[in-house]
Amino acid sequence: MPDSPAAAAESADVVIVGARCAGAASAITLARAGHRVVVLDAAPLPSDTLSTHLLWPAGLAELQHLGALADVLALGAPPLTNAYAAGAGYGIDTTFPTVDGIDHALCVRRTGLDDVLVRTARAAGAEIRQRSRVTSVLRAGNRCAGVRYTDGAGATVEISAALVIGADGRDSTVAQTVGAQPPLLTVPSGRDCYYAYWRDTPGRPRDTAAQWRVGADLGTAFPCDDGLVLSLVQPPAVPGRCGPSAAERRYTEALQRIPALADRLRDCERVGRVRAATGLSSYFRRSAGPGWALPGDAGHFKDPVTAQGIRDALRYGRLLGEAVTEVLHEPERLDRALRAWERRRVDECRAMFHWTNRLARGEAMRPLEIELYRRAADDPELARVTTGIFSRTRRPAELHTPARALRLVAGALRHQPDTRAVLRDLALELRIGARNIHATRTALRGNTPPVLTPRRSADRSDPPVPRSALPATLAAAPRRDRSVPAAEHR
């Protein structure tokens, strides 16, 4: 079939593939600027998707930017004003940093959250077409010039556009067809995800987002809308496929290994089945080229352990719209704007990428991390820095200033019996930090040529990356990476 857009019966300024976080954010921004925006999604809408949904204050600030926050708050999820993290016998209680006037987190199920986003995009003037699966992109020379899709009735339809935005998630068809596979940098997760909803019982703390670590296990309880609690467990990854009965078993076993979480859910009634996400990898893909861009998970994904994906999809979807709105029909300027947008996302997200991969290692807490918990339990400023990292108001490097790092090592040597284990951990952290810096300066260095090459279908999935070739099972950088902007939430 010809790839040329000449046959396209319809044209738009922008075609967006995917109508959830990233796609809706781009659509809202571009439609408000007066452009003709068509959004195609393969799913029926509204609908659920495989994702938990904790939003830190920075995520809510993104909803506020889009004008969607009031409708999301109206879904009735309780404001989470306290953060609690426990591990190795220490419990850290803290509040959230304020971002754009918002001082709490929120956990809103995706059917409602995504529906608000779609409705906001429609109100802004975007046309949303559900049950419409994009199968390939149209080309004009080396440019991406539109898409071909199958509509709900099974008909093949083509739309030409100055810009194709692939907001179609981790298995992005757009990424595949423009040649953005395999990713520039991939780090397999050391953890699997299993989650379920519970009907909460009266008297339980519905204002607290809680996380527990026991051995190599990690579990959370986040009160959400409709009187429910979302509970996600992330035990070490098990290779291979995971059917419904294995998911149920692994979820239940993990709960049993985390008594404080089991206690939080005591007398609560389970609602619905256990959902599983296994075999996850964090990555950066090449995310911009002639006439195309990949916001959201299509271009960049971090393990759910730090709950950053929705915020980043909203933010870089919006920033993409803002970056291109004035230059949509000037190809050279458009492509420059796309490259600058991509660069900004890499610069703002790479430290969090490494921080996330560190927590996704799927191991028990190591000596330096235990010392961090011990100190943070009694040091409100340290606790605030840590919570600020998750809310993107502080940078991971702020935990590793020379003074803080020295105090951490000295404290671990004083309080933990196995001196050699502490020194081994320190050596590992330094090695991993160095490898992270190397990986981001090579794989993500930013001078990869733009691509728009059809790929063989055999290339569809990421090739396995040998662990030895990875940038790391990662840690925060031992010294400050100066190219990471200080405040990225604006």
Ligand X SMILES: Cc1cc2nc3c(=O)[nH]c(=O)nc-3n(C[C@H](O)[C@H](O)[C@H](O)COP(=O)(O)OP(=O)(O)OC[C@H]3O[C@@H](n4cnc5c(N)ncnc54)[C@H](O)[C@@H]3O)c2cc1C
**What residue type is 251 in one-letter code?**
Y
Tokens of residue 430, six digits: 């330094």
Does position 307 interact with ligand X (CB under 6 A)? The reply is yes
* Span of 37-45, 248-256, 339-347, 454-462 interacting with ligand X by CB under 6 A: 37-45
Does position 188 interact with ligand X (CB under 6 A)? The reply is no
Task: Tell which residue, 365, 364, 375, 475, has the closest CA to residue 415.
Answer: 375
Least spacing, CB of residue 43 vs ligand X, in Å: 4
User: 14-33: which residues touch ligand X (CB under 6 A)?
Assistant: 17-23
Site string for ligand X, 249-288 (x = CB under 6 A): ----------------------------x-----------
Q: Tell which one of 31, 63, 102, 193 touches ligand X (CB under 6 A).
A: 193
| Strand 208-214 to 82-87 pairing | parallel
Torsion sign, CA atoms 13, 16, 19, 23: negative
Closer by beta carbon to ligand X, 133 or else 249: 133
Least spacing, CB of residue 298 vs ligand X, in Å: 6
Coil, helix or strand for 293?
strand
E strand or H helix at 343:
helix 331-359
Instruction: Tell me the β-bridge partners of 159.
Output: 10, 147
CA distance 96 to 80: 9
Least spacing, CB of residue 408 vs ligand X, in Å: 28
Closer by beta carbon to ligand X, 285 or else 435: 285
Closer by beta carbon to ligand X, 50 or else 406: 50
User: 392-411: which residues touch ligand X (CB under 6 A)?
Assistant: none
Q: Are 252 and 233 in contact (CB under 8 A)?
A: no
Tokens of residue 474, six digits: 């990662």
Closer by beta carbon to ligand X, 456 or else 482: 456
CA distance 348 to 130: 32
Q: In three state form, how does the secondary structure of 371-430 look?
A: HHHHHHHHCHHHHHHHHHHHCCCCCHHHHHCHHHHHHHHHHHHHHCCCHHHHHHHHHHHH
Closer by beta carbon to ligand X, 23 or else 433: 23
CA-derived radius of gyration, the chain = 22
Least spacing, CB of residue 365 vs ligand X, in Å: 21
* Span of 165-173, 210-218, 285-293, 352-360 interacting with ligand X by CB under 6 A: 165-173
E strand or H helix at 10:
strand 10-17
Q: Tell which one of 7, 34, 48, 50 touches ligand X (CB under 6 A).
A: 50
Task: Tell which residue, 264, 270, 262, has the closest CA to residue 196.
Answer: 270
Neighbours of 334 (CB within 10 A): 22
Least spacing, CB of residue 419 vs ligand X, in Å: 38
* Span of 154-162, 250-258, 295-303, 355-363 interacting with ligand X by CB under 6 A: 295-303
* Span of 95-103, 301-309, 381-389, 469-477 interacting with ligand X by CB under 6 A: 301-309
Instruction: Tell me the β-bridge partners of 275.
Output: 195
Does position 173 interact with ligand X (CB under 6 A)? The reply is yes
User: 121-140: which residues touch ligand X (CB under 6 A)?
Assistant: 133-134
Closer by beta carbon to ligand X, 172 or else 429: 172
Q: Tell which one of 13, 41, 342, 481 touches ligand X (CB under 6 A).
A: 41
CA distance 320 to 342: 9
Least spacing, CB of residue 195 vs ligand X, in Å: 7
Closer by beta carbon to ligand X, 222 or else 373: 222
Q: Tell which one of 26, 282, 308, 387 touches ligand X (CB under 6 A).
A: 308
Does position 224 interact with ligand X (CB under 6 A)? The reply is no
One-character DSSP codes across 218-248: EEEEEE-STTEEEEEE-PBP--S---HHHHH
Q: Are 222 and 238 in contact (CB under 8 A)?
A: no
Q: Tell which one of 29, 51, 177, 186 touches ligand X (CB under 6 A).
A: 51
Least spacing, CB of residue 453 vs ligand X, in Å: 18
Q: Are 421 and 364 in contact (CB under 8 A)?
A: no
* Span of 182-190, 305-313, 371-379, 392-400 interacting with ligand X by CB under 6 A: 305-313
Output the CA–CA distances (angstroms, integers) from residue 12 to 30, 34, 159, 319, 360, in the order listed.
12, 12, 7, 20, 41
Q: Are 291 and 334 in contact (CB under 8 A)?
A: yes
Instruction: Tell me the β-bridge partners of 158.
Output: 148
CA distance 368 to 476: 12
Q: Tell which one of 32, 53, 191, 374 touches ligand X (CB under 6 A).
A: 53
Least spacing, CB of residue 149 vs ligand X, in Å: 6
> Which residues would be at the binding site for ligand X (CB under 6 A)?
17-23, 40-43, 49-54, 59, 133-134, 167-169, 173, 193, 277, 296-298, 304, 307-311, 313
